[in-house]
Amino acid sequence: MTGPSTRTVRTSDGLDLAVYEQGDTAAPTVVLIHGYPDDHHVWDGVATLLADDFHVVRYDVRGCGASQAPSGRRGYAMSRLADDLRVVIELTGGGPAHLIAHDWGSIQTWAAVTDPQMRDLIASYTSISGPSLDMAAAWLRRIGEHPKDALRQLLASYYVFFFQLPVLPEATARSGMLDRLVDHSAHLGVPLEERRATRRPRKDLVNGIELYRANIMSRLARPKPTPTTVPVQVIAPTKDIHVSVPLQTQAPLPYCTDFGWRTVEGNHWVVEQDPETIATMAREHIAYAQGGPVPTGLTRV
């Protein structure tokens, strides 16, 4: 199979995003959205597997990879990220598209999935290791219902608060320490002989810190979770030390009319380490959203 073709799309605020497409453009469109501190390559394995049956679209999120970065923090606001996704969908197929997202890709995609103005562009959503910030904040506020789970999640999210500090997070990224922390997370449960160190571009590591500063504290202080009718599947890795299974599977419950979840053996970077399982689960949920049977192992609520 040939590799992806590359093109550039212009965002509503004038940035150029690098977009990568493969598969039959006449087939249903699947959009893969990466998180921090990755770029579109984290989806290489999944994209190759899905391209047999779908028009697969990936893009480097603003500030990452070959895409341009905004000039200031406001350019990383959730509304901008969601609008980037809208532009990519409209310019690569017009929708409705099936969305599969990971980490910050998932966080920003929740903002699009819960936007009524984007409902006609979205056919289904599979979220991996990235909750809606508003839903997560509302879940944490109900700490009396699940005190142990909420406290464990707050402890696991220490870096979220570290990234609010001035200067120090950027210094940590430039020193290589952040790369080592990511490697530690990515190696959990992985046999020694299969581990590999990853060195991400320093500009991507530094730029992505603004995602946390532009969005986290305002959502934690004033969460406004919004319901959605999009068919949603959450895939929750069992060894994810950043986003717990309870947060991923419980926080969306009050807001999704068509919601199901599955766990998968793996750590936070399971999308890269086990693309076969992720592609299979995504494919089954897409079939369900198109009128097929409920996938085996999907806990529906």
Band the pLDDT of 153: cuts 50, 70, 90: very high
Token representation of residue 114: 């819960």
Mean pLDDT of 124-148: 97
- Determine the pLDDT at residue 2: 67
- Determine the pLDDT at residue 200: 85
Which region among 6-15, 35-44, 162-171, 188-197 has the lowest average model confidence (pLDDT)? 188-197
* Burial of residue 94, with CB atoms counted within 10 A of its CB: 0-12 exposed, 13-18 middle, 19 or more buried: exposed
Share of the chain above pLDDT 90, in %: 89
Mean per-residue pLDDT of the chain: 95
- Residue 76: which of 163, 140, 157, 183 has the closest Cα? 163
Q: Where are the domains of the chain?
A: 5-300
pLDDT of 34 strictly over 80: yes
Measured between alpha carbons, how far is 249 from 130 in angstroms, rounded to an integer?
11
Q: Which residues are paired to 232 by β-bridges?
A: 125, 259
Please tell me the pTM assigned to this model.
0.96
pLDDT of 219 strictly over 60: yes
Measured between alpha carbons, how far is 291 from 54 in angstroms, rounded to an integer?
17
* Range 149-180 burial, b when 16+ CB lie within 10 A, else e: bbeebeeebeeeeebeeeeebbebbeeeebbe
Higher pLDDT, 194 or 260: 260
Mean pLDDT of 125-131: 98
H-helix segments, 69-143:
78-92, 104-113, 133-141
- Classified by CATH at the fold level, domain 5-300 comes out as Rossmann fold (3.40.50)
Q: What share of the chain is helix, strand, coil (3-state, %, to 5)?
A: 45, 15, 35
- Determine the pLDDT at residue 196: 79
Share of the chain above pLDDT 70, in %: 99
Measured between alpha carbons, how far is 223 from 32 in angstroms, rounded to an integer?
26
pLDDT of 238 strictly over 70: yes
- Determine the pLDDT at residue 267: 96
pLDDT digits (tens, 9 = 90+) for 177-200: 998 888 888 888 888 778 877 778
pLDDT of 1 strictly over 60: no
First to last CA, the chain: 39
User: E strands within the chain?
Assistant: 5-10, 16-22, 29-33, 55-59, 97-102, 122-128, 232-237, 259-264, 299-300
